[in-house]
Amino acid sequence: MLLTLDDNDLSQNLDLDSTVMSGRPLKKRMLAQLARAVQILEQQHHVRPCLAVVQVGDHPASSVYVRNKILACKKTGVVSMLHELPGDTTDAELHALLERLNADPAVHGILVQLPLPEHMDPQAAIQLISPSKDVDGYHPVNLGDLMAGRGALEPCTPRGVMTMLRAYKVDLVGMHAVVVGRSMTVGRPMAQMLMRANATVTVCHRFTKDLQEHVKRADLLVVATGVHNLIKGEWIKPGATVIDVGITRLEDGSLSGDVDYDVARERARYITPVPGGVGQMTVATLLENTVRSACQTLGVEIDLRRA
Ligand code: NAD
């Protein structure tokens, strides 16, 4: 283990009796722990972890995400390097920048904010990032390592969900987990991580017949589709844990998830709100991956349970 978080500390300040599984207090604790790890790296190894963020064009949602990531860097002491490229940047120009960042020993994490403009190839960019600096965990090498059960850098959103489940002390062993959505960035790695935690996993997607029947049998439901209110509240098994990853911006400008929250909340043991749930964990886990990557480069292990 390159970096081990202190789970007892993460559970502090959480209201485990509430139905709402909030990401905000957890993100705060995680960032505080990561700030401690950054301090250790600086004091004992004279290195500050550094995250390079590359944004192409000015997609408004991306700008908000990038801002939040840079802010989280500031809170932990991680150095952030923002590269803003114009919307007409070519693949070759982006690749040249990624090669430079790969070769820069001061850079520990590289993130290309998605989506890229339509004329660009996101897979080519992801595959060019050195796997050891791929803090989004999207590189095929890192996804393969996740399958093999030895991942160092894992996709932030599902990894953040796992951290959340541990902090809220949800016992996954033998649980029937249903994951709705099978993207490479959320659904698939989520299913892998839940299997690794000894849950029994069903994966549903847009071609699944009788989605409702699968959802009704879920002790743990993770939904990542981007389809607003796809999951009706009445489908939730009483006492289930519901993780809503989806984000939809409604006409009034507010954000909402894939689950009919108000009705589901009446039936669930735990449910994550949107906003204020999984999204918080995604950002915190990005920082965790950046510090982890710096530990890997330096050959250092940090155990925050003892630090
Ligand atoms: P994606 O479009 O790549 O994948 C969507 C998945 O949902 C697909 O596998 C598809 O088969 C499935 N799906 C679509 N319609 C369905 C239906 N009617 N029934 C069953 N399955 C259906 O999306 P993604 O990148 O995995 O993201 C999913 C959602 O999660 C989006 O709203 C995205 O904004 C959100 N997201 C949130 C975070 C976060 O930090 N909270 C991070 C990543 C993604």
Question: pLDDT tens-digit profile of 86-101?
Answer: 999 999 999 999 999 9
Residue 163 parent element (H or E):
helix 156-167
| 274 located within any domain | yes
Quote the percentage of the chain above a pLDDT of 90.
96
Length of the chain counted residue by residue: 307
Pocket residue to mutate for ligand 1, from 186, 255, 256, most atoms within 8 A of Cβ: 186
Counting from 1 in the atom list of ligand 1, the atom nearest the Cα of 281 is 40
DSSP at 234: G
Cα 225 to ligand 1 centroid, rounded to whole Å? 3
pLDDT for position 102: 98
Q: d(Cα 24, Cα 32) in Å, to the nearest integer?
A: 13
pLDDT for position 259: 98
Domain that holds residue 114: 47-134
Residue 6 — φ and ψ, nearest 5°? Answer: -95, 100
| 56 located within any domain | yes
CATH number at residue 187: 3.40.50.720
Answer yes or no: are the C-beta atoms of 131 and 141 closer than 8 Å.
yes
| 41 located within any domain | no
Strand pairing partners for 178? 202, 221
pLDDT tops 80 at residue 83? yes
| 93 located within any domain | yes
pTM for this one?
0.98
Question: pLDDT tens-digit profile of 142-190?
Answer: 999 999 988 889 999 999 999 999 999 999 999 999 999 999 999 999 9
Tokens, residue 290: 């950046």
Q: d(Cα 26, Cα 22) in Å, to the nearest integer?
A: 7
| Same domain, residue pair 115 and 163 | no
Residue 121 — φ and ψ, nearest 5°? Answer: -110, 100
Cα 183 to ligand 1 centroid, rounded to whole Å? 7
pLDDT for position 151: 80
- Ligand 1 surroundings by CB, under 6 angstroms: 157, 180-183, 185-187, 204-206, 208, 211, 224-227, 230, 245-247, 278-279, 282
| Same domain, residue pair 218 and 267 | yes
Question: Region 120-141: what's the mean pLDDT?
Answer: 98
Number of domains in the chain: 2
Strands (E), the chain: 3-4, 50-56, 79-85, 109-112, 176-180, 200-204, 220-223, 241-244, 248-249, 255-256, 270-271, 302-303
